[in-house]
Amino acid sequence: MPTATPTPGKALLDPSNHALVMIDFQSQMSFATKSIDAVTLRNNAALISHAAAGFKVPTVLTTVAEKSFSGPMFGEITDAFPGQPLLDRTSMNTWEDAAVIAEINRIGKGRIVLAGLWTSVCIVGPALSALDQGFEVYVIADACGDISDEAHERAMERMIQAGVRPMTSLQYLLELQRDWARTGSYEMTTGIAKTYGGAYGLGIIYAKSMFGASEGH
């Protein structure tokens, strides 16, 4: 019989054990996205961006045909990483771009977390490619979108069948924090949740305003 210990499982994310890759969050890609509304998509992209930036997760920002076709990356993302260059590509599959792969190798993490547009093309491509090369791959499903619900869901199923681990945006933030006794990142985490965490964020605002509640006590 196994012995339980108060330690986290190895499959959980922490700020030091992965790289985040944010792909093609651009105007042209979002216009045709129908599986998630634009406001929710932008909000979730902002949530994971600020979570990664706040916890100092190494993050790759990549676009496709930024100047000639697809337009700029969402400001909610670039605001979280001021001054960080965007790696522009011609390839639909991020994993086939030499500059992106050079950055992945420079970062040197064996676990990759993906989010972007569209799920069935720009996320499936690097997810299956990274898996094939021995990386562990996570996809933040509600920070991805596609031209239809069907396209998004079939893409998620295809990746999960191949070994990708799905998660959500708020889950990503809270998994990085994981313990409210970590006071160094407590205010940052709850601040991000209050701004981008929807009803959960409203609950934090209410609890703190009405009776000074704190998750760490």
Instruction: Confirm whether 71 is domain-assigned.
Output: yes
The CATH code of the domain that includes 23 is 3.40.50.850
Instruction: Confirm whether 136 is domain-assigned.
Output: yes
Q: What is the mean pLDDT of residues 62-89?
A: 90
Instruction: Give residue for tokens 């509600």.
Output: 142
The structural domain count of the chain equals 1
Mapped onto helix, strand or coil, the DSSP state of residue 102 is helix
Q: Tell me the C-alpha distance between 67 and 48, whole Å.
A: 25
- Give residue-wise pLDDT tens across range 146-203: 999 999 999 999 999 999 999 999 999 999 999 999 999 999 999 999 999 988 888 8
Percent of the chain whose predicted confidence (pLDDT) is above 70:
95
Q: What's the chain's average pLDDT?
A: 94
Give the residue from 5, 46, 11, 10 showing the smallest Cα distance to 25: 46
Instruction: Confirm whether 137 is domain-assigned.
Output: yes
Residue 66, pLDDT > 80, answer no
Between 116 and 217, residue with greater pLDDT: 116
Instruction: Confirm whether 147 is domain-assigned.
Output: yes
pLDDT reported for residue 205: 84
Instruction: Confirm whether 3 is domain-assigned.
Output: no
Instruction: Confirm whether 33 is domain-assigned.
Output: yes
- Give residue-wise pLDDT tens across range 102-128: 999 999 999 999 999 999 999 999 999
Residue range(s) defining the domain that contains residue 139: 19-178
Instruction: Confirm whether 53 is domain-assigned.
Output: yes
Surface-to-core class of residue 161, CB atoms within 10 Å of its CB (0-12 exposed, 13-18 middle, 19+ buried): exposed
Instruction: Confirm whether 51 is domain-assigned.
Output: yes
Give the pTM: 0.94
Q: Please count the CA atoms within 13 angstroms of the CA of 77 that sit on its side-chain side.
A: 27
Q: Residue 34: what are its φ and ψ, rounded to 5°?
A: -120, -10
Residue 216, pLDDT > 70, answer no
Q: Tell me the C-alpha distance between 13 and 17, whole Å.
A: 6
